[in-house]
Amino acid sequence: MAIKNIIFDLGGVLLNLAPELTDKGFEALSNNSDHYNKTFKKLHQLNIFNDLEVGAIDGSTFIDTILEHLPRANAQDIRTAWSAMLLDFPAERLTLLEELKADGFNVFLLSNTNSLHIEDFQKIVYDAHQIDDFNKYFECAYYSHEVGLRKPHSPIFQHVVDHAQLKPQETVFIEDTPHNLEGAKAVGINPLLHPRNGDITNTIRTFLQQHNL
């Protein structure tokens, strides 16, 4: 069956991403690597990263919680380290979104993200391209912290299917993290793995040529 609906992940697919820069940023705010490892093991146990991504806590609570474990840092240090992973948004990817819509595809966005990253991402896009409404490139943009669900779990994909009234077999989801495709497959959406920060135009055009003969 021909593909009519395209759901993009954000980080690593449309926005270039380097999570290791955030790791380095937080490690630099720690006393040493052992302190960093113990601190972030405890923070993961507290579940604050997941809670931020599903909107269970706000950005201020997230930053304050990390500050309790990194006394050498201040709030701006935490914010800077947290968003260090966000790189650039190449202009050709905006062109791709426009071309796909012009070709008749329904284009969506589905991202595990949070209020802090969205603010900083929007600034990146505005500073580079003077775009103050990134969501206008999509039929709808679904952000985990707004819908209260996250990948790789199938309910967030079912939410997109139900809300947008999509036929899963006519839909492809493009993602750079393999395990995040599992939920898409579980609800019948076609999965497409994309190499992080790679040529997304080539990835999606090759896929569509193979499926929309």
* pTM (predicted TM-score): 0.95
User: Do 35 and 126 share a domain, yes or no?
Assistant: no
Can you state the angle between helices 115-129 and 91-102, rounded to 10 degrees?
90
| Spatial CA neighbour of 174 closest among 194, 157, 202 | 194
**What was the pLDDT predicted at 72?**
87
For residue 143, what are its two tokens?
């952000």
Name the nearest CA neighbour of 26 among 63, 52, 54: 63
Quick check: 2 pLDDT over 70?
yes
Domain boundary (63, 82, 101) is at 82
Query: Is residue 35 scored above 90 in pLDDT?
Result: no
- Specify whether 164 is located in the same domain as 95: yes
**Amino acid 163: pLDDT:** 98
What's the average model confidence in pLDDT over 106-124? 97
**With pLDDT > 90 as the criterion, what percentage of the chain qualifies?**
92
Tell me: do 117 and 205 sit in the same domain: yes
* Cα-Cα-Cα-Cα dihedral sign, residues 210, 183, 8, 44: negative
Q: State whether 96 and 148 are in the same domain.
A: yes
Q: Which of 39, 61, 82 is the last residue of a domain?
A: 82
Examine the fold and report which residue of 82, 107, 127 is the final residue of a domain before the chain moves on: 82
HEC per residue, 124-150: HHHHHHCCCCHHHHCCEEEEHHHHCCC
pLDDT at residue 124 is higher than 70: yes
